[in-house]
Structure 1
Amino acid sequence: MVVNMPYNGSLTAEQFLFYEMRIVSKKYLEGTTIDEIIEYIKRDNLFQYPTEREVPRLARACQRRIVALSNDKLVYELANASVEVAKQINLYAMMRYNRLVREFMTDLIGEKYRQQDFSYTRKDINVFFSHLQEQNDDVAAWSEQTVRKLKQVLTKCLIETEMLDSVRDTTLNPIFISEELESGIRDNIDLTALAAFNCFR
């Protein structure tokens, strides 16, 4: 499980990748290999990147997140559901794959939802990273630039899933978890993830 994985700063490059995840998940469901998926994306420039250089790495990152979901129903919804539902599932896939995202969403955002404390300030995310740096040598070794970028990416995840309205916003929106995601999380017996989506039933 993700809690035993080392912390990983790759999020600075990988980010939310929603439209990339939609494309890769559709091909993944067809049983296409990752190398074939990469060629398919390159052939029609489906990621619409200025060059092909980033395509293999980011397509592989998408595939790893999809595999981390461990749930074909969630992968299907990620590929086919409405944008709002699929974005929640994409964030959950990030939580399954990346320990930093997991702890940010459960320990900081989930706790705020639990306590009905909807404030979200720069201080909150700074304190979250300070605690991590005190507890973990790998995180402590990250450069200021890396940490700053990670804070930006994590905040953008909140905006993408409508938990936050903008970068300058300081109030979390009390969102509703989609039925599809709640069902998938329960099927995965991953109940600690529910708090990140304001679900305590």
Structure 2
Amino acid sequence: MAQYSASMVSHSFWFTEFSQYLDLREQGNSDADIRFLATEENYFQQQSTARALRMVQTLKRRVNVLDVDYFDLFPSLDLANQKLINLSTSLQLDPLFDDFLYEVYRSELILGDAKLYSYEIEAFFNQKQIENPKVAAWTEQTVRRLASTYKSFLREAGLLKEQTDYDQVKRPLLDMRLEALLHTKGLTRQLAAFLGR
């Protein structure tokens, strides 16, 4: 059974900070160096040391799922594809978010409806609550906050555009080099979701 977690409710997309973290690593800084910069020098311009620490721990986890191939490719990609790499790291770290992208977002692309309504998101979580006792134990508020976080991530990644009573589903223009890399790394579910296959 998948190890689902609601920890993403306390995360943000943090794309700018993700890019800065990659830059710092490329300049030869270790994770410990970056943590020092974040907490002692407020490098990422956070409101408090505690927030900076939480953010840098999350960014460290995201960046550490990447290897040298991603580090080499990232600077040469356009902004939209760089955001997809950031999204990809979150998906790799969170099986429930990965399921959401594959089962809900991908379905919208395949069916061609391209309109994601709240009831469709609720249906996803209801199904997961039936399938998984851990998800079943979550409060309504947790589920609502998680749904909101997922939508926020997908909007910031350029995959959703907020409308009045639904989100417009947008198909990304995937750089062929990133497509090849995701394929090479075995991220076939993400690839299928991004491509609507």
TM-score normalized with structure 1 length: 0.87
- Residue number among 16, 31, 35 corresponding to 2:32 in the alignment: 35
CA–CA distance in 1 between the matches of 2:72 and 2:37? Answer: 19
Report the CA distance between 1:19 and its aligned residue. Answer: 1.6
Secondary structure at the counterpart of residue 165 of structure 1: strand
Q: Deviations over 1:50-74 (max 9, x none)?
A: 11112222212111112223x3222
Unaligned runs of 5+ in 1: none
CA–CA distance in 2 between the matches of 1:152 and 1:192? Answer: 22
Q: 1:199 to 1:128 in 2, by over 3 A?
A: closer
Secondary structure at the counterpart of residue 113 of structure 2: coil
What is the match of residue 112 of structure 2?
116
What is the match of residue 8 of structure 1?
5
| Greater strand fraction, Structure 1 or Structure 2 | 2
What is the match of residue 173 of structure 2?
176
Q: Is the 8 A contact 2:39 2:52 kept in 1?
A: yes
What is the match of residue 186 of structure 1?
183
The size of the alignment, in residue pairs, is: 196
Q: Which moved more, 1:158-167 or 1:90-99?
A: 158-167
Structure 2 counterparts to residues 97-116 of structure 1, below 5 A:
97-116=93-112
Q: Is the 8 A contact 1:162 1:175 kept in 2?
A: yes
Q: Which moved more, 1:173-182 or 1:77-86?
A: 77-86
What is the match of residue 19 of structure 1?
16
What is the match of residue 64 of structure 1?
61
- The one-letter code matched in structure 1 to 2:152 is K
Report the CA distance between 1:20 and its aligned residue. Answer: 1.9
2:126 matched to 1:130? yes
TM-score normalized with structure 2 length: 0.88
Q: CA RMSD in A?
A: 2.1
CA–CA distance in 2 between the matches of 1:52 and 1:115? Answer: 45
What is the match of residue 71 of structure 2?
75
Deviating above 6 A after TM superposition, structure 1's stretches of 4 or more consecutive aligned residues are none
2:145 matched to 1:149? yes
Q: 1:26 to 1:153 in 2, by over 3 A?
A: same
- The one-letter code matched in structure 2 to 1:89 is I
Q: 1:167 to 1:149 in 2, by over 3 A?
A: farther
2:154 matched to 1:158? yes
What is the match of residue 195 of structure 1?
192
Secondary structure at the counterpart of residue 161 of structure 2: coil
Q: Percent identity?
A: 23
CA–CA distance in 2 between the matches of 1:166 and 1:46? Answer: 31
